[in-house]
């Protein structure tokens, strides 16, 4: 992707996030977004089909980044070492918490969280060569992934008032206990 395309997409995304601070996604129009971004509607449509496609693209790109960090730590996690990945996850979501909160705000379906949950479970099963017939392992993995994502989301939205270090320690212990 060339630099102009990157800049245009960043402008559109930033304008979209700015509008999401003011109103729910179903009240944002392409006309309003393009007017605030000072671009033509055709420029928007060159990159996205509609506002929801823009939101989905933002969440997919964000999800891909988190998954890339996750994959870097799979071999550590295989050995029961979760702290490295948990710390990296918390650092990344903390630095990008506005994107997470805004793209999931007022969503009947928390797109990003569900996308991450499904992807993490798939990656873990594939990496550990878990057969879908091992029901207890499926439940344990889903429980760990869902619980971790829920705790992280509550932490970045301020519903969980603990330090990052304490959260890393608690999630690490939680996953370790469940995986035994």
Check whether residue 68 and residue 121 sit in a common domain. yes
Which residue range forms the structural domain that includes residue 143?
Answer: 57-179
Tokens 């994107």 belong to which residue? 99
Q: Are 118 and 124 in contact (CB under 8 A)?
A: no
**Looking at the 3D structure of the chain, how many domains does it have?**
2
Residues 9 and 33 in one domain: yes
pLDDT tens digits in sequence order for the chain, 180 residues long = 799 999 999 999 999 999 999 999 999 999 999 999 999 999 999 999 999 999 989 988 888 888 888 888 888 887 888 899 899 999 999 999 988 888 877 555 666 777 788 888 887 777 666 555 566 777 888 888 888 988 998 999 999 999 999 999 999 998 888 766
Burial (0-12, 13-18, 19+ Cβ within 10 Å), 54: buried
Please calculate the CA angle 159-160-163 and round it to the nearest 5 degrees: 140
CA 60 to chain centre: 8
Query: Quick one: 102 and 64 in the same domain?
Result: yes
Q: Which residue has the tokens 């990296």?
A: 88
Per-residue confidence (pLDDT) for residue 177, from 0 to 100: 80
Q: Using alpha carbons, select from 14, 17, 43, 13 the residue that is nearest to residue 31.
A: 43
Nearest Cα residue to 78 out of 114, 37, 119, 123: 123
pTM: 0.80
SS3 132: coil
């Amino acid at each position: 992707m060339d630099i102009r395309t990157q800049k245009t997409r960043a402008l559109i995304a930033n304008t979209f996030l700015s509008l999401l601070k003011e109103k729910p996604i179903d009240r944002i129009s392409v006309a309003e977004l393009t007017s605030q971004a000072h671009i033509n509607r055709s420029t928007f449509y060159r990159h996205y089909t509609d506002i929801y496609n823009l939101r989905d693209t933002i969440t997919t790109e964000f999800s891909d980044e988190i998954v890339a960090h996750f994959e870097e730590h799979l071999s550590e996690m295989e050995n029961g070492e979760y702290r490295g990945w948990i710390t990296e996850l918390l650092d990344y979501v903390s630095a990008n918490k506005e994107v997470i909160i805004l793209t999931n705000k007022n969503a009947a379906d928390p797109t990003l969280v569900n996308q991450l949950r499904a992807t993490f479970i798939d990656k873990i099963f594939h990496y550990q060569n878990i057969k879908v017939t091992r029901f207890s392992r499926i439940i344990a993995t889903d429980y760990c992934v869902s619980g971790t994502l829920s705790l992280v989301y509550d932490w970045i939205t301020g519903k969980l008032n603990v330090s990052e270090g304490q959260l890393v320690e608690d999630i690490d212990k939680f996953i370790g206990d469940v995986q035994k």
